[in-house]
């Protein structure tokens, strides 16, 4: 049976003291009950081990606000390719098979359906110039570029107790067709160059976009081959 993510700051999952303030980064400690992992939370579905992200204390997962730092667009510099085509052409079938072999509740087809929703996008490439503050979205027959500025970070807490951070950017210029709000999620909490990321973009407000849990286009460096990406996902 397909499993779902829960909404932003689901109160059933939390015991929290204050909250984050939109556009001002993290200003409080969030305590989340360390439930058994029942949600396939893509923000932590890669088995990343970040000792600096959180610590276990009496059954609670704790994020110290001091560990979450502001980040600039330069962290995502470069030319990036969508992994969605590789899911469609079967390259990532081995990844789905591996996930299913480690899970008694979901089959490989269940996983493929789940990731098909998550990865789906018509933006084949994203080119980011952090110094210039620009993001270019490249589709089959068109591309648009926006100028973006940092708008802070937000916590997301799930029923499982997993905690993620999204980094927010707002358009301040560029092509009219470029999305107005951008949010990055890459499992990091401090300034870090990454080897892949999930991105959320729309013309909605940041508050509305934070509600998006099912659709998270994912990008790897444009110079990686299909086999490189498959290997990275299998052995990361």
Q: pLDDT (tens digit, 9 = 90+) per residue, 171-199? A: 999 999 999 999 999 988 899 999 999 99
- Model pTM above 0.75: yes
pLDDT (tens, 9 = 90+) of the chain, 236 residues, equals 333 333 333 322 333 332 333 333 333 333 333 323 334 455 444 443 333 333 333 333 446 667 889 999 999 999 999 999 999 999 999 999 999 999 989 999 999 999 999 999 999 999 999 999 999 999 999 999 999 999 999 988 877 677 789 999 999 999 999 999 999 999 888 999 999 999 999 999 999 999 999 999 999 999 999 999 999 999 97
Q: Are 154 and 19 in contact (CB under 8 A)?
A: no
3-state class of 84 per DSSP?
Answer: helix
Distance between CA atoms of 134 and 147, rounded to whole angstroms? 5
Q: Which residues have C-beta within 8 Å of that of residue 149, sequence separation ≥ 6?
A: 133, 169, 170, 172
| Cα atoms in the 13 Å half-sphere on the side-chain side of 41 | 25
Rounded Cα–Cα distance for residues 206 and 184 (Å)? 12
Residue 147 contacts residue 174 (beta carbons within 8 Å): yes
């Amino acid at each position: 049976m397909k499993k779902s993510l829960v909404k932003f700051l689901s109160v059933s999952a939390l015991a929290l003291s204050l909250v984050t303030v939109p556009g001002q980064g993290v200003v409080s400690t969030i305590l989340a009950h360390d439930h058994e992992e029942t949600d396939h939370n893509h923000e932590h579905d890669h088995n990343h081990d970040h000792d600096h992200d959180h610590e276990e204390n009496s059954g609670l997962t704790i994020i110290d606000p001091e560990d979450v730092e502001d980040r600039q667009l330069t962290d995502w510099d470069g030319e990036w390719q969508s992994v969605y085509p590789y899911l469609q052409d079967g390259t990532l079938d081995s990844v789905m098979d591996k996930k299913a072999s480690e899970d008694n509740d979901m089959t490989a087809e269940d996983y493929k359906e789940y990731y098909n929703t998550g990865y789906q996008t018509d933006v084949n490439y994203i080119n980011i110039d952090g110094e210039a503050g620009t993001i270019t979205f490249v589709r089959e027959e068109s591309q648009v570029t926006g100028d973006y500025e940092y708008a802070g970070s937000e916590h997301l807490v799930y029923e499982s107790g997993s905690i993620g951070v999204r980094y927010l950017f707002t358009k301040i210029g560029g092509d009219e067709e470029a999305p107005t709000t951008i949010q990055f999620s890459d499992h990091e909490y401090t300034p870090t160059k990454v080897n892949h990321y999930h991105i959320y973009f729309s013309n909605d407000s940041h508050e509305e976009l934070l509600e998006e849990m099912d659709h998270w286009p994912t990008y790897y460096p444009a110079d990686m081959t299909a086999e490189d990406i498959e290997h990275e996902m299998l052995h990361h």
